[in-house]
Amino acid sequence: MDDDRIPALEAFDAWPRLRAGLLTDPEQERRIEELLGAMTLEEKVGQMIQPELWELTPEDVREYRIGSALNGAGVWPGRKRHATAQDWVDLVDEYWQAGREAYADRPFHIPFLWATDAVHGHNNVFGATIFPHNIGLGAARDPGLVRRIGAATAREVAATSMDWTFAPAVATPRDRRWGRYYEGYSEDPAIVHALAGEAVLGLQGEATGSNADARVICAVKHWIGDGATAQGADRGEAHCDEHLLRNIHGPGFFSALAAGAQSVMISFSSWIDPADYDHTPGRETAFNHKIHGSRRLITDVLKRAMGFEGVVISDWDAHAEVSGCTMQDAGYAINAGIDVLMVAARDAWQGVYHTTIRQVHDGTIPLLRIDDAVRRILRMKMRAGLWDKPRPRERALAGNVSVLGSPDHRAVAREAVRGSLVLLKNAGGVLPLARETRVLICGSGADDIRKQTGGWTLSWQGDDISLDDLPGAQTLADALRAEFGTDRCLLDPDLEQADPAEYDVAVVAIGEDSYAEMRGTIKPWGTLDYAGLKLSYARDLELLRRLRSTGVRIVTVLYGGRPMYTTEEINLSDAFVVAWLPGTEGGGVADVLVAGQDGLPQYDFRGRLPCNWPRSRDSMAANSIPAHIPGYRVPAEEQEPTGPHEPLFALGYGLDYASADPGPGVLPLDERIDEDPVPAVSGPLRILGPDAGAEYAWLLAGHQMWTRQQVVPGTPAQFTILRVGTCEGREPTEGLALEFTGYIAFICAQASSKRPRDLRGYLEREGRLAFEVRVWQPPTEPVYVACHDDFPAQPGLDISGLLHAAPEGEWVGFSFPLAQLRDLGMRFKHVDVPFMLYSTGKARFDIADVRWEPAD
């Protein structure tokens, strides 16, 4: 490590015992025991339940004495995307007051607290500062900057009177296919270790138990090994021994907990130690590998060996994935050591509440385990000073709109953008751009704020936002026009009108579309080839080729949450800058690209790669060797299929303006191509209707609903987000009657085997996606039809206009060329979901006879 801000890391031969951060206060402990002794079992279990806003009412808080609630990403007061700070304060205050009223007949009360995911700023709140995602901060390698970002974020969270943020994420991501890759600072545990503790100190402050108005409780996540999953699978399995789990995936937790993190969120993933795995036939499932069900990792390691005294919280409905649990039964996970259960849906959290009480009475869950959980919850609340804080609407920063997106916070964000930029190439010194330069701005990311901000930005995936949702935000095009003036600077994203010969340089911004967990994960059959991932990305490569043919100098800026195979893009560029996911402050990119009035750089490139940069399309795994582990061997699942990994640019690489090396020359391309033949198709592919068979299962999912629920044609089902019934006049299994109720809802047909099919033959034969519809209530919002290889990723085709035009109560046939879906970015080689409908509005209609059919 050539940066003295990142100290060297030594190997951990055992799980480190915490000696700082969480220091027991005898007086607090006495008060905790008094409260614990006075509480009923029902009150204790209520403290352990954390529902989601849309599934909880103030009356529920009063009745069940609920201890905390959260708002999921994309959930706002009154469902208003642009809810103000005061709207949030009023909402939090209403639930806080219900929490007080719940104890009106008791001689004590337990404060209610509110939690949110503020992971790169207070990102779910309109007007908040949006900082670079963690991968960019790992490139900046500035611990002090990370602390200041944490402090600014905490201040903005406090302006909405919330108490708890589920941050920082301290995974050490080892596979670039993982959709949460950008939530980790680096594939190097030393960088993660150096930054994680600083994030905690920024959010919580240095003194545990302080009643600071501008500090919040933090939750370090996700314990442990979610960055280790094989093939980058979201909620997958980490196959490594305990030594590697501890030394590669533990260091971020070690520094965060030593800094005083009051809570830890558990990972959705599983851990399998090859030495412990029982290969005996019939015994493979005897071990509960889900970390949410691992007493060994939660109780034995985190709580006992490391001495963690704070709260262990589950992830969203994750207890239901533990063997021995169900959505309404979390007993096994509680016994493993979970203290607070994040259970979103109303029927689920109420089921967990009642089941837990019953299981304590019948001895399934020891009362001592409940007391341990509640003792930790009380301790966390007491250390956060919640008994002394005024009610939310009376707090010092409550509703202070000037705090959200304040100039000081935006200045820190802009500084972070400048520090995160990594210069991979600067041939001929094309950068910095002189003030008299005539600039042509192109590329899919030039004026797309979504590519800059990424996931977890006002909504879960961050793919449905615009500049109207982010007041004061600047795209790169905005920033460059501000620097050069509109008379010297033209935006032409697709090069439809400009003559490149009239310009000195083309600044081409490209990058990944916005995504978050699940939807951002690249399937095992995918590729890291930027131009090969989506049709829109391929258009960026073609744009670079067209520009290169004109002779104009090219500066390419790449946005994205992971290292990508971009060798041809680099070769076509005179300068190539990796900007990661910089957030709203596009001016920070321009600050470094553009020279000052004296012709000298205003700011230098300081960012260094936090990960190896891939040489080939299938260079998926990190394969960097952590320096602090003597004798480290790259695990088998991280080894490249084509041999030892040789990065195109190694971890730590990055040029600056003083670099004698102007950048690489022509880099060798990965010339391998897909030579798989296109399978022939012989007739229609039936999905729903006569002769559909059992190849596809119908599934329902909704807003952040990880667990997909099966829908059986012919069996009516009542879900909160979507009601499903049988179609009058059709055989029960030949159609579905759908009623969308105004929530985000998906219904899809997914391969029962979970193995995708190569359906390119239908595209070659000019095939169509066809189905019948009978409309009863036209949609209030767009309804999309989609098919793809990675549920629930989309694009989709909006059919709401056709639904409005359809005569009420009459069957109408709809048919779309598959080429329309291809043009939206659908890839047909691995089709997992051949049909999906999704909407956020209300609608009622029937569907039947869903099929793919070739034209001839």
Strands 553-559 and 575-580: parallel
Please tell me whether residue 48 adopts helix, strand or coil conformation.
coil
Rg (CA), the chain: 27
Strand partners, 220: 264
What are 725's two structure tokens?
């019934």
- Neighbouring-strand partners of residue 797: 785
Among 577, 639, 586, 580, which Cα is nearest to 610's? 580
DSSP 433: B
Across 81-137, the runs of DSSP E, i.e. the strands, are 113-116
Do residues 655 and 661 touch, judged by C-beta distance below 8 A? yes
Q: Rounded to 5 degrees, what are φ and ψ at 821?
A: -70, -35
Residue with tokens 């919640």: 386
Q: Which tokens is 815 given? A: 């048919």
CA 562 to mean position of chain CA atoms: 13
Q: Under a CB-based contact definition with an 8 Å cutoff, are residues 640 and 670 in contact?
A: no
Instruction: For residue 524, count other CB atoms closer than 10 A to its CB.
Output: 12
Residues 6+ apart with CB under 8 A from 105: none
Dist. CA 586–CA 453, nearest whole Å: 10
On the CB side of 602, how many CA atoms lie within 13 Å of its CA?
Answer: 18
Structure tokens at 190: 């030393």
The rounded distance, in Å, linking the Cα atoms of 18 and 581 is 33
Do 330 and 356 meet the contact criterion of CB atoms below 8 Å apart?
A: yes
CB 653 within 8 A of CB 608: yes
Helix (H) or strand (E) holding 401: none
Residue 118 amino acid letter: A
Taking the C-alpha atoms of residue 798 and residue 805, their distance in angstroms, rounded to an integer, is 13
Q: Helices then strands (H, E): number in the chain?
A: 23, 29
Pairing of strands 811-817, 768-777: antiparallel
Closest CA to 2 of 429, 592, 562, 606: 606
Q: Between 242-249 and 189-204, two packed helices, what is the crossing angle to 10 degrees?
A: 60
Q: Where are the alpha helices (DSSP H) in 2-130?
A: 26-38, 41-47, 58-64, 85-101
Residues 6+ apart with CB under 8 A from 801: none
> Could you identify the residue written with the tokens 């959260």?
70
CA atoms within 13 A on the CB side of 171: 30
Catalogue the active-site residues: 315, 517
**Alpha carbon distance 151, 122 (integer Å):** 11
